[in-house]
Amino acid sequence: MRLLGIIMVMAGWAITVSGLFISSHNLGRAIIACVGIGVSVIGILGVLNSYYLARAIWKK
């Protein structure tokens, strides 16, 4: 689960950087960058945080 989260977080950055090569227009690059940021945020809050939340001290 944690590895999946890390992969997602890094994949978000890879998407953003790949946008620099995929598109030559600022709008296209901006949209791809936003998608990349979104993927990273989901990886952090949706995957990694869920892993730790499931084991939170207040749930024991």
Partner 1 sequence: MKLIKIKAQLLLAILGVGMALCFAAPLKARAATLTDQDVVSGISGPKTDDIAAKGDPGADLTGTVNDVTMADSKKGLTLADLANQAGQNKIAINFVWTLVTGFLVMFMQAGFAILETGLIRAKNANHTMMMNFMVYGLGLFAYYVCGFAIQMGGCAPIANLGGTYSLNHEHVLNLFGKPWGLFGTKGFFLHGATYDVGVMVLFLFQMVFMDTTTTIVTGGCAERWKYSAFCVSTIGLGAVIYPLFGNWAWGGGWLSQLGANFGLGHGYCDFAGSGVVHAVGGITACAVAMMLGPRIGKFNRDGSPNAIPGHDIVLVLLGCFILAFGWFGFNPGSTLGASGNGCLRIGSIAVNTMLAGCTGSFGALLYMWMRYGKPDASMAGNGLLAGLVAITAPSGFVDPLGAAIIGWIAGILVCLSVEFFDRVPKIDDPVGAISVHGVNGLWGVLSVGLFADGRSDYGGSWNGVNGSVKGLFYGDAGQLVAQLVGISTLVGVIFTLSFVWNWIVDVFVGQRCNPKAELAGLDIPEMGALCYPDFQLKTHDYVAAGSSEASSASVLK
Single out the residue of 41, 47, 42, 46 nearest to residue 3, CA to CA.
47
Q: How far is the CB of 52 from partner 1 (least distance, A)?
A: 5
Should residue 29 be labelled a site residue for partner 1 when binding is judged by CB under 8 A?
Answer: yes
Give yes or no for a contact between 16 and 36, defined as CB atoms under 8 angstroms apart: yes
Question: What is the rounded CA–CA span in Å between residue 24 and residue 11?
Answer: 21
Across the chain, the runs of DSSP E, i.e. the strands, are none
Q: Which of 1, 4, 20, 22 binds partner 1 (CB under 8 A)?
A: 20
- Where on the chain is the footprint of partner 1 (CB under 8 A)? 2, 6, 9-10, 12-14, 16-17, 20-21, 26-27, 29-30, 33-34, 36-37, 40-41, 44-45, 48-49, 52-53, 55-60
